[in-house]
Amino acid sequence: MKTSGECDCNEQPFQKSLNISSFGVHIMSSMEVVTSACSSEMSNPEKNHEKPGFKLCSYVYKFIQTDAGPIPIIKSRLGKKDLFSTFYVRCGINRHKYTVSPGLYGIGNPDKHSEVLVTANFKLTFDHLRQKLPGINAWILVLNTNGINVWCAAGKGTFSTRELANKIKDASLEKIVDHKRIIVPQLGAIGVSARDVKKLSGFRVVYGPVRANDISAFLKNNKKAEKKMRQVTFTLYERFILTPVEVQMILKPALITALVLFILSGFGPGIFSLSGAVERGAFCVAALLTGIISGAFITPVLLPFIPFRHFALKGIITGSLSALLLLMFTASAFNGTTGLSALFLFIVTVSSYLAMNFTGATPFTSPSGVEKEMKLFIPVQLAILVIASGLWIFSAF
């Protein structure tokens, strides 16, 4: 720690206080660092590191002095603000702006012998890692992945060899640790070449486990991963926590679709009927909601238990069952089967499409496989949607 008279403005974990905060935690695409005088207060040593116009992040609780300058030490326990922010981000709110400043952090009481863990600057990833490290003394090197998680960033090229080498150099890591070793998450391996990192920085890459939960056991086992640590899982809980984002992503399209459905429902013998639009439109909106729940929630949660490999087919199955359940309670409102058939086809189509949309969130689909499935099923879904629309209009006559 610096004394009250010292001033060093190389710190990174600051947020511009003028930025809007939705949940009590300031969220911004990059936490800028400015070169300006630091304030000094004997009563609170951390005030030495504050800067005009900036606010010290809530997850930083002190700084330690190293040969490369002061390094922020972060908490392993998430605060209320972190938990609320996590909830909102899990619901898809501001998730593209949920970042931390790239650079070097410490956790616990790290020293020259402590391991260096590499992660992305998506705060959800950052928080998940730090809360799995209570009682561990380590350094955390955060790469600038533009607020994207490790696996996706590695595929997009932002969690990369060059970025890692640059951050090692920027942090003057060779002055902070007396070993030449960094631990990179296994899911980042696609973007990081161990040989090239060694050539560019002099540091040797050790690939850590898939999950942050296993970091502690991995370190205790002399940095050797057991078989289960190398396996990617997609459990019920892991699928469930992805569904709020899936639902949030389709809210706006769903509102537009609902408006179109009300208009479509108004066509009838008198050309257009406002009362018909309201009455029949309500059935359409109920069908839309059923399709959304089926395709964006039920299918992802029950994914491994539903037959067929194609997600679109899985959505057809859950959509069909959901449609039958809804129509059991609404059949008495229709004369004939034309309207019921239209609603059934509409629910199945919505469910199939949204289930297919979930392919991007799974760990076992490939871009080529997803593209092939989309080319196969989207024309079919469009055709069924046109048929359903025609039947629905026809049922009014």
Question: Does residue 5 lie within any of the structural domains?
Answer: no
Asked if the structure places residue 306 within a domain, the reply is yes
Can you tell me the distance from the alpha carbon of 143 to that of 166, in angstroms, rounded to the nearest whole number?
9
Task: List the one residue out of 133, 125, 115 whose CA is nearest residue 153.
Answer: 125
- Which of 10-24, 162-176, 318-332 bottoms out in mean pLDDT, i.e. has the lowest? 10-24
Last residue of a domain, one of 180, 209, 232: 232
pLDDT value, residue 58? 86
**151 inside domain:** yes
Residue 207, SS3 per DSSP: strand
Q: Is the pLDDT of residue 324 over 80?
A: yes
Residue 362 CA to its chain's centroid (Å): 12
Confidence at residue 13, expressed as pLDDT on a 0 to 100 scale = 57
Q: Tell whether 171 and 253 lie within a shared domain.
A: no
pTM for this structure?
A: 0.78
Final residue before a domain boundary, out of 232, 247, 275: 232
- The CA distance from 356 to 354, in Å, is 5
Three-point CA angle 297, 299, 304, nearest 5° = 130
Note whether 280 and 265 are within 8 A (CB).
Answer: yes
Q: Is residue 58 part of a domain?
A: yes
Any domain includes 326: yes
User: Same structural domain for residues 162 and 303?
Assistant: no
d(CA 143, CA 180): 18
Asked if the model's pLDDT at residue 237 lies above 70, the reply is yes
Residue 317: is its pLDDT beyond 80? yes
Question: With contact defined as beta carbons under 8 Å apart, do 2 and 66 qualify?
Answer: no
Q: Are residues 22 and 113 in the same domain?
A: yes
Claim to verify: residue 165 and residue 20 sit in the same structural domain: yes
Gyration radius (Cα) of the chain, Å: 27
Q: Identify the band that residue 308 occupies on the pLDDT scale cut at 50, 70 and 90.
A: very high
What value, to the nearest 5°, has the Cα angle with vertex 366 and ends 363 and 369?
135
Question: Distance between CA 122 and CA 142 in Å, rounded?
Answer: 9
115 by DSSP, 3-state: which?
Answer: strand
* Same-domain status, 97 and 181: yes
The Cα–Cα gap between 296 and 327 comes to 20
CATH number at residue 158: 3.40.50.11600
Instruction: Give the pLDDT of residue 382.
Output: 97
197 shares a domain with 308: no
Give the count of beta carbons closer than 10 Å to the beta carbon of residue 307: 7
Quick one: what percent of the chain has pLDDT higher than 70?
86
- The most distant pair of C-alpha atoms in the chain lies apart, rounded to whole Å, by 85
Q: In which band, very low, low, confident or very high, does the pLDDT at 383 lie, cut at 50, 70 and 90?
A: very high
Closest listed residue to residue 106, CA positions, set 137, 143, 127: 137
Residue 375 and residue 266 share a domain: yes
* Contact call for residues 248 and 238 (beta carbons, < 8 A): no
Other beta carbons within 10 angstroms of residue 320's beta carbon come to: 16
Indicate if the pLDDT at residue 365 is higher than 80: yes
Report if residue 28 sits inside a domain: yes
Closest C-alpha to 102, from 37, 152, 162, 29: 29
Query: What CA–CA distances, in Å, run from 392 to 94, 126, 139, 266, 267?
Result: 38, 50, 62, 10, 10
1 in a domain, yes or no? no
On the question of pLDDT at 43 being above 80, the answer is: no
**Three-state secondary structure of 11-28:** CCCEEECCCCCCCCCCCC
Residue 284 contacts residue 389 (beta carbons within 8 Å): no
In this structure, the answer to whether residues 260 and 165 fall within a common structural domain is no
* Pair 179, 283 in one domain: no
Give, in degrees to the nearest 5, the angle at Cα 300 between 298 and 301.
65
Contacts of 233 (CB under 8 A, 6+ apart): 210, 211
Q: What is the pLDDT of residue 31?
A: 34
Residue 343 domain boundaries? 238-394
**Three-state DSSP class for 125?**
helix
Model confidence band, residue 368 (pLDDT cutoffs 50, 70, 90): confident
Confidence band of 28 (pLDDT split at 50, 70, 90): very low
- Total of domains in the chain: 2
Q: Confidence class of residue 34 from pLDDT cuts 50, 70 and 90?
A: very low
CB distance 277 to 258 below 8 Å: no
pLDDT at 47 over 90: no
Asked if residue 268 and residue 141 are part of one domain, the reply reads no
First to last CA, the chain: 80
Residue 159 included in any domain:
yes
- Is residue 128 within 8 A of residue 102, CB to CB? The reply is no
Task: Pick the more confident residue, 22 or 204.
Answer: 204
CB-CB contact of 343 with 280 (8 Å): no
**Helix, coil or strand: residue 104:** strand
pLDDT score for 213: 93
pLDDT score of 4: 35
Is residue 25 over pLDDT 70? no
Mean pLDDT in residue range 376-393: 96
**Residue 185 and residue 327 in one domain:** no
User: pLDDT band at 2, cuts 50/70/90?
Assistant: very low
Per the prediction, the chain carries an average pLDDT of: 86
Evaluate whether 282 touches 237 at the Cβ level (below 8 Å). no
Cα–Cα distance, 377 to 359 (Å, whole number): 13
pLDDT in tens, 257-275: 999 999 999 998 888 889 8
- State whether 318 and 215 are in the same domain: no
Residue finishing a domain among 200, 232, 264: 232
Amino acid 165 reads A
